[in-house]
Structure 1
Amino acid sequence: MISFKNDYSEGALPYIMEALLKTNLEQTVGYGEDEYTELGIEAIKRSIGCEDCYVRLLVGGTQTNLLTISHILRPYEAVIASDTGHISIHEAGAIEATGHKVLELPNDGEGKINVDMIRECYELYKDDFHMVKPRMVYISNPTELGTLYTKDELVSISNYCKEVGMYLYLDGARLASALASEKNDIELTDYPKYCDAFYIGGTKCGLLFGEALVITNKELERGFFCSTKQRGATLAKGRLLGIQFAELFKGDRYYQVGKHSNEMATLLKKGVLEAGYKLKTDSYTNQQFFIFPNEKIEKLGEKYRYEFWEKVDEDNSAIRFVTSWATREEDVKELIKDLKTL
């Protein structure tokens, strides 16, 4: 089977594995107090152009969302998100299990929410003490549909959040793909300027595991380590995270991860369109959504792994293909060839 199901099927980038093996027998202190974690954090701060921020290296995306949102919000406060947002549908109710309601907004058809939607939601809830209070806006870049927020959209959401006293939190699980997209106009150094907190994805961007949470709002830092400890998120062998991020953020390696995965996705997209099939969304990142007849989807499943997305009508469905740092061009071309001969 050739997998296009996700971007974490393989282990890790070769230079990550080499660095881990090279340091394997070193003895360091635990829980992120080691020199490698310090190196990783320093590399991230340089890359985002923000020395005066708090960086915590964590293991996974759902864990990072859970920790960040539950740490920041009071028990009666809620987070606003798209109805396709990761915290809305992919985390088994993790956020609401902490007692914080997710206020879901119907997305704009591209997986995004905008200021008008956010404002309407905020105004509805803000003055009724019987209801939860919106205190945070959650977005991701790319979105769950592979689309991108523009810089103007990010700035406008950020400005509104500041105006009404809400926090803006951005999920960057696939941030490498966003940064390398031909449609992107947001620099990595922009995120600290407009987000109270965001995370830089590693698990889906070439690491064995790891996400780098960045908190730029100073009032939100206090006690965060205690929150991670309380929820079992302090990795004893913390250096394993530090080593990986220190390597990933040498030169333009992070960008190159996104560049390769996007190039493979673009090649696949072009081939699918040439074969006469339609797009579910017009994505310029490493997630591609195609509409195929159901009988052809079943045949594809005999050789390829993909993610079923949704039923379009009685005869057709949308499925997702994801490319990664490890996707081989020959596998993409083989898939395209098979699509044309099904």
Structure 2
Amino acid sequence: MMYNFKNDYAEGAHPLILDKLASSNFEQELGYGDDRFSEKAKQAIRAKIGQPDAPLYFVSGGTQANLLVISHLLRPHEAVISAKTGHIYANETGAIEATGHRVITVEPENGKVTATAVAAVIAAHQLRPHVVKPKMLYISNSTELGTIYRKDELIALHAACRQHGLLLFMDGARLGHALTATANDLSLAEIALHTDVFYIGGTKNGALLGEAIVFPTAQLATDFDYSLKQKGALLAKGRILGIQFLALFEDNLYFDLAKHANDRAQQIADSISACGFSFLTPPQTNQLFPILPKKLIEQLLANYAFYVWTEIDQAYAAVRIITSWATDATQVDNFCADIKELSKTLA
């Protein structure tokens, strides 16, 4: 059977989450997120970020989280800045534009937005009232290209947003992978200090589904519950989300699972490097973008599933390989061995 390196949600959920869901199944709870599991999960997350009163909401997925936050915080004439590779621009079927808000794109550097790019957008949108008003900066950590924001970069972006009157929103669909990356120097508490709103992704890190939206700038959450209900995001059985995040955060499971994915990816990256191949972006988290000979790619695709990302030239293409919280170590060993052996035949 072909082994899947296409995404980090091919498996179901971590057994501890399934056990907690099963063991609590017949316990009666309040609906719409007012259950005791959701409250305990919120307390656990607030403790991690060092903000005991931060408003926090559980929703089902990343696109939903992005749509809810952006549409709630922006007025009709306001726009959001994003990298061209940003999920809200490249992978959400125009969800943000469908709410009436323009996505202003910038060229990223290794998947990341810079303060210089933000300033350039502001300078280009001064012809009031004939152009949209940039009001939010959207970033992802880790980025869609597997890279991470370091502390100095996030602080610089936060300062630029303050200077230009922008809100800073961090997409954390793979935040666990960013925070457990070897090169990371940020904590959850520091992210809360240097963003206005962010979310913690569970879907891509061991949960069945779910993201936790956190508002460090508490006043921005005013009436957010209305937006949740109006847009169909307020689950009657909110306990399903709360139980999962309680399992992820009452100990260190969330970070342990992300580290497993990163470690397996690093093993693959090391093997690819040892064969003399380079990468589209530097390997940092569980998303890898190696540049491989097309002949090797064709041979690997016979036994492994992954995306061919972009063509480099007639002989080479960049592929995307993703590991997960449940990626099997033996399968990684086999994949690395196959890369080594097959690359020899191309020498």
**Identity in percent:** 45
Who is 1:319 aligned against? 319
* Matched AA of 1:326: A
Between the aligned partners of 1:340 and 1:156, the Cα distance in structure 2 is 41
Q: Distance in 1 between matches of 2:126 and 2:304?
A: 48
Residue by residue, what CA displacement relative to the aligned partner does 1:203-236 show, whole Å, maximum 9, x if unpaired? 0011000100001223311111111111111111
SS in 2 for 1:266: helix
Looking at structure 1, the residues matched to 250 and 332 of structure 2 have their Cα atoms a distance apart, in angstroms, of 28
Partner-residue secondary structure (3-state), 1:6: coil
The aligned counterpart of 2:225 is: 225
1:297 and 1:261 map into 2 onto residues whose CA distance is 22
Give the secondary structure class of the aligned counterpart of 1:117: helix
Q: Which amino acid aligns with 1:82?
A: A
The answer as to whether partners of 2:41 and 2:250 remain within 8 angstroms in 1 is no
TM-score when normalising by structure 1: 0.97
Residue matched to 1:21: 22
Distance 2:188 2:5 in 1: 27
1:132 matched to 2:132? The reply is yes
Aligned residues: 341
Counterpart of 2:307? 307
Runs of 4+ in 1 over 6 A off after TM superposition: none
Cα distance, 1:317 vs structure 2? 1.0
The runs of 5 or more residues in structure 2 that have no matched partner are 343-347
Distance 1:340 1:283 in 2: 18
- For residues 316 and 70 of structure 1, the distance between their equivalents in structure 2, rounded to whole angstroms, comes to 41
Q: String of CA shifts for 1:267-292, please: whole Å, max 9, x gaps.
A: 00001111232211112111011111
Corresponding residue for residue 107 of structure 1: 108
Note the C-alpha offset of 1:163: 2.0
Aligned counterparts of 2:277 and 2:120: Cα–Cα separation in 1? 37
Residue number in structure 2 paired with 1:212? 212
Residue 72 of structure 1 aligns with which residue?
Answer: 73
Give the match's secondary structure for 1:200: strand
Q: What amino acid sits opposite 1:57 in the alignment?
A: F
* Separation in 2, partners of 1:282, 1:156: 21
* 1:283 corresponds to 2:283: yes
**Corresponding residue of 1:298:** 298
Q: 1:299, CA displacement in angstroms?
A: 2.0
1:118 and 1:163 map into 2 onto residues whose CA distance is: 10
C-alpha contact (below 8 Å) 1:126/1:134 kept by paired residues: no
Distance in structure 2 (CA, Å) of the matches to 1:190 and 1:287: 23
User: Mean alpha-carbon deviation: is it higher for 131-140 or for 18-27?
Assistant: 18-27
Alignment of 1:78-117 (within 5 A): 78-108=79-109, 110-117=110-117
3-state secondary structure, aligned to 1:326? coil
Which amino acid is 1:282 matched to?
A: P
Q: CA deviation at 1:258?
A: 1.6
Matches within 5 A, 1:17-56: 17-56=18-57
- Equivalent-residue separation in structure 2 for 1:70 and 1:310 (angstroms): 32
CA drift of 1:127 comes to: 4.0
Q: What CA distance in whole angstroms lies between the structure 1 residues aligned with 2:126 and 2:256?
A: 43
Which residue number corresponds to residue 198 of structure 1? Answer: 198
Gaps of 5+ in 1: none
Q: CA deviation at 1:186?
A: 0.7
The CA distance in 2 between the partners of 1:219 and 1:74, in whole Å, is 16
Per the alignment, residue 263 of structure 1 pairs with 263
Whether the 8 Å contact between 1:173 and 1:200 is mirrored in structure 2 is yes
Name the structure 2 match of 1:123.
123
Q: Give the counterpart letter for 1:217 in structure 2.
A: T
Confirm or deny: 8 A CA contact 2:202 2:210 kept in the other structure: yes
Name the SS of the counterpart of 2:170 in structure 1. Answer: strand
CA displacement at 1:249 relative to structure 2:
0.3
Which residue identity does 1:92 align to in structure 2? Answer: T
Q: Tell me the equivalent position of 1:63.
A: 64
TM-score (norm 2): 0.96
Q: Following the alignment from structure 1 to structure 2, what is the Cα–Cα distance between the partners of residues 237 and 305?
A: 35
Question: Conserved in 2, the CA contact under 8 Å of 1:78 and 1:103?
Answer: yes
Shift of 1:148: 1.0
Distance 1:29 1:133 in 2: 41
Contact 1:145 1:283 in 2 (8 A): no
User: How far, CA to CA, are the matches of 1:296 and 1:267 in structure 2?
Assistant: 19
Superposed CA RMSD in Å reads: 1.0
Distance 2:311 2:31 in 1: 48
Letter in 1 for 2:45: I
Q: Cα offset for 1:293?
A: 1.8
Quote the residue 2:345 is aligned against.
Answer: none
